[in-house]
Amino acid sequence: MCRGLKFILLISLIAGFFSCEREFVYHGGQEGVALSTDTVMFDTIFTSIGSATQNFLIYNPYDEDLLIDGIELTGGDESSFRLNVNGYAESELTDVRVRANDSLYIFVEVTIDPVHSSSPIVVADSVIISTRAGRQTVKLIAYGQDVILLKKEWLQTQTFTKDKPYLISDYIVVDTTQTLTIEAGARLYFQKDASLLVLGSLKVNGTKEDPVLFASHRLEEWYEDKPGQWGYIHLLPGSSGTTIDYAVIRNGLMGILADSVGLNDDEPLIINNTKIEHISSFGLLAQSAGMKVTNSLFGDCGTHSLAITVGGDYEFTHCTFANYFEWSFRSSPAVFINNYYKDEQGKVNIVPLKNASFRNCIIYGRNVGELGFDLEYPDGDLIGLQPNYLFSSSLLKVTDDMDLSDEDHFVDIIKNEDPFFINSSEYNYQLDTLSVVKDMANPVFASEVTKDILGVSRFDDDGPDMGLYERLEEK
């Protein structure tokens, strides 16, 4: 083929390519563009910390390719908000193309400067979309909150208040012999993998009206029940005197890890009126610990809601262990009890399980059996090494082959009956009017915990109910 013919063919291909390129010359009709929303709302944003990305859509409702004259952030480069359109992070773009009957994503982020105030603030701006029809507006609204930032802090004796939330990165440590007191209404938010480590003492003084919150720093509603977003509360060996009252602990890898605390001459760990839920592994993992727990919920957890391991001394009264974990497959029971460990040579070492008592409790969930044991028994009748556990006046969900006839371990048990929670899928474990546990709790145990977690008396009807909630029928 001659060089002249090759040149002609090349010119023809180039001309054909450009003749097929779309021409965006249509600027829209009188209706303008269609928008997926007229307002983009952000949940509370911590100052200095960027938000999650929100978005909205601009639709081209026409049968012709559309050229939008302009997309502009009203506040310009000084705005707290940022736009990203087609990969361009600009506060103003012109001649934006949208194909016929297609759509365009507008991504929005926000960062709010500190205002040195304990009160939330509102930050607003808007996006203007200009076409032949005129200017259309999408409002941007975010709520900002100043926050106390803590990262790799070793805390001396001090008090956390509810004035401003606390945002924890990496870890904070309550130093040996020191005490962290957390007042009612305080909020502790943890970034990914961050944890609270306690070598000294922890005093959580929430109230029914103002519980103390331990949760993920992601405040959008979608994240509220998602597990595994931060670490856990770790009570380390040597810590002592910890009390937790009216706390909500959620979204962690674990809830509480209690390691060799509350035994011998130390006061037991005290947990009252507390909810631990939306946890990716253990809700409460106890290792050779001593504790007394009342009026508490151990909700959906990826392994055990409660794991008692390597012996210890435990008492649970009017607690609900309800595990309907749905984020992954769970084969482990909600409540698990163990009394030994294996050393490096594989030798079994029994650790005394002095007591594990469950009184007026509910243990239930999605699995066929929600109570499991892994116990070793000593040769002969060695005093102090025989595991001691007792379930009294409680509802238990167990496998059919688990024998509950031994009154040394099981007394007044309701076996495998649905407790009829109001709505377990929405994490509401209050009792329906048809619940089999209504008025079935032991009043002697209930006399030690006369009110439920909501402050309702257990003695204003025919009898106390099992679990942490008391149902009173309207008269």
* pLDDT score of 47: 79
Please report, for the chain, the start and end positions of each structural domain, with discontinuous segments joined by +: 34-144, 147-446
* pLDDT score of 379: 80
Cβ(184)–Cβ(207) under 8 Å?
yes
pLDDT tens string 334-378: 999 999 999 999 999 999 999 999 999 999 999 999 999 999 998
**What is the rounded CA–CA span in Å between residue 214 and residue 204?**
11
Judge whether residue 58 has pLDDT over 90: yes
pLDDT tens string 263-297: 988 999 999 999 999 999 999 999 999 999 999 99
**What is the rounded CA–CA span in Å between residue 323 and residue 331?**
11
Nearest to 227 by CA among 160, 309, 324: 324
Cβ(308)–Cβ(329) under 8 Å?
no
Average model confidence (pLDDT) across the chain:
91
E runs forming strands in 99-251: 103-110, 121-131, 134-145, 148-155, 158-160, 166-174, 179-183, 187-190, 195-198, 201-205, 212-216, 233-235, 243-245, 247-250
Distances (CA, A) of 197 to 201, 202, 258, 288: 10, 10, 11, 18
pLDDT tens string 85-94: 988 899 999 9
Judge whether residue 455 has pLDDT over 70: yes
Of the listed ranges 189-193, 262-266, 362-366, 409-413, the least confidently predicted one is 262-266
* pLDDT score of 49: 81
**What is the rounded CA–CA span in Å between residue 38 and residue 49?**
25
* pLDDT score of 23: 63
**What is this structure's pTM?**
0.85
* pLDDT score of 133: 81
* pLDDT score of 19: 43
* pLDDT score of 145: 85
| Cα-only R_g, the chain | 30
Indicate the pLDDT class of residue 333, thresholds 50, 70 and 90.
very high
**What is the rounded CA–CA span in Å between residue 237 and residue 199?**
7
* pLDDT score of 43: 81
Burial 166-202 (b: 16+ CB within 10 A, else e): bbbbebbbbbeebbbbbbbbbbbbbbeebbbbbbbbb
Q: What percent of the chain has pLDDT over 70?
A: 93
* pLDDT score of 378: 87
Distances (CA, A) of 247 to 95, 242, 251, 271: 54, 13, 13, 9
Q: If you average pLDDT over residues 444-457, what whole number do you get?
A: 97
Cβ(88)–Cβ(70) under 8 Å?
no
Indicate the pLDDT class of residue 22, thresholds 50, 70 and 90.
low
Whether domain 34-144 has CATH 1.10.10.10: the reply is: no
Q: If you average pLDDT over residues 322-329, what whole number do you get?
A: 93
Q: What percent of the chain has pLDDT over 90?
A: 78
